[in-house]
A and B are shown apart, each in its own frame.
Chain A
Amino acid sequence: MRAAQYLRAFLGILNREALRWLNQRSRFISALVRPLVWLGIFAAGFRFTLGLSIIEPYDTYIPYEVYIAPGLVAMIQLFNGMQSSLSMVYDREMGSMKTLMISPFPRWFLLLSKLMAGVAVSIVQVYMFLAIALIWDVEPPPLGYIEMLPAMILAGLMLGALGLVLSSFIKQLENFAGVMNFVIFPMFFASSALNPLWRVKESSLWLYRIYSVNPFTHAVELIRFSMYGKFNAQAAAVVGGFFVFFMILAVWGYDPGRGLIAKRGGPPE
């Protein structure tokens, strides 16, 4: 296979993801409504009770809506990563994943393409969210919209790869709902998406440690810093490291000879 053929395969996967996203209107709408509810209702309700001091990367005091916006961006990507994995489980149950898996490209390439397609869809959602968030004065510097792009790609890849790992573990669609609850909510709430780390540290040291090892915290911080034109090297290293780790696990999980798929009960006759 030549490079052009790889590119065509990737574009085909990307096109399918985009079509599925556009065809599933409820998914399209809920992806926007969810963070907007957090921003418009939750943040508005808590803005006067959750005072924030000046912390990096901000140069001044900021309203709570501005603080949680990067966390909500990461939340869109987290949900999208899990949704994409859910579609893998769905495709596997419905049989359509075989179309992908028997194509003559390496497994790692197919999984990475699927992952990148999901990330691309999530980034479109993020920009739509940020456009609406202007109503709440969430307005990063104009360059921030561009500078946050690499951070979102890296964060999206890590969260998507985590979803792929989970999807390789899960045998049936029904089991995925439980995993969503055990992964999405703990990851989101035990992160700096809603509370700054210093505040958590003041209230509980062990909770602070949990927040600190949560890769989602680092994804949020990576996005937060990049939105304001700053680079958080530690967050980038952690997110990058977890992406590689999850990706290796996912490729192993989907390997027909060694992975979890091969170890399960086999096809129905």
Chain B
Amino acid sequence: MTDDASLALAVRNVSHSFDARKALDDVSFDIAAGDFTVLLGLNGAGKTTLFALVTGLYHSRYGSISVYGADLRTKYLKALAKIGAVFQQSTLDLDLTVEQNMFYHAALHGMAKSVAGPRITAELERIGLNDRRRDRARQLSGGQRRRVELARALIHNPHLLLLDEPTVGLDIDSRQFLLDHVRGLCAERGMAVLWATHLIDEADDNSKVVVLHKGKVLATGTATAVIQSSGESNLRGAFDKLTQGAPGGKGKP
């Protein structure tokens, strides 16, 4: 593995339990700047726990996590400043308008209104929702809320973007929009992305893949490399083979 300071995210031997339930078991992987990494796992694989640890909502009991060299235990404020996150569960305040939600987020990153205002407009325009900025969040559809959450996560110009099952419950168009938009961000801004999903087709051949199953990492590498090392012809086959060989077996993603 490379020097952690040069990595967008370095997860090293992380284990975490909730009482007797082991959610993560010796998880290690890393993400370089500009990487689009798909964290692939079934429901219950430990993806959300991993997100909670990377965003500092929980502290890992064992192992370490660092963001651009800032350890989450010792320099978590520095680490958090570089992270943008879209959680599986919506985190918008539904009683506030879209722009109130955005300004609230900007304030929580210490941004002045004069700086945040133009960025909010730019991000809302980018997702095609600038005309809805004065609508309350609860008036938006599920797909529109997701877009707003993504736009909000980008206001403070994060270097690492975390998305936990961002396309769950979205129609095909909204799903594709999000995927294309985030891939575009990687290319344009050199932003590192960790995209957690149980939908295999959200990883293309160029994506880096981390296969997480029952709290353990079963494979990491580009999708192509994971397919080749499994001896299968596609990522679905490789995923099936990896997870069927793992203790406890699996269901279809």
Contact = CB atoms under 8 A, between A and B. Distances in A.
Contacts, number: 119
A104 interface: yes
Nearest to A1: B110
A160 B176 CA distance: 45
Interface residues of B, number: 45
Q: Which one of A100, A106, A261, A266 has the greatest number of beta carbons of chain B within 10 Å?
A: A266
B57 A256 contact: yes
B29 interface: no
A98 B87 contact: yes
Contact of A15 (B43, B58, B90, B104): B104
B50 to A, nearest CB: 10
Interface SS of chain B: helix, strand, loop or mixed? loop
B59 A256 contact: yes
A256 B105 contact: no
A11 to B, nearest CB: 6
Contact of A104 (B47, B80, B104): B80
B108 A262 contact: no
Contacts of A100: 108
B40 interface: no
Size category, A interface: 35 or more
Interface SS of chain A: helix, strand, loop or mixed? helix
B140 to A, nearest CB: 15
Given A1-B110, A98-B55, A102-B85, A12 B103 contact: yes
Nearest to B42: A269
A106 B18 contact: no
A100 B108 CA distance: 7
A8 B112 contact: yes
A1 B90 contact: no
B155 to A, nearest CB: 12
A125 to B, nearest CB: 19
A256 B81 CA distance: 17
A99 B91 contact: yes
A26 interface: no
B77 A267 contact: no
A82 to B, nearest CB: 19
A6 B111 CA distance: 10
Interface of A: 1-2, 4-6, 8-9, 11-13, 15-16, 19-20, 23-24, 91, 94-106, 256-257, 261-269
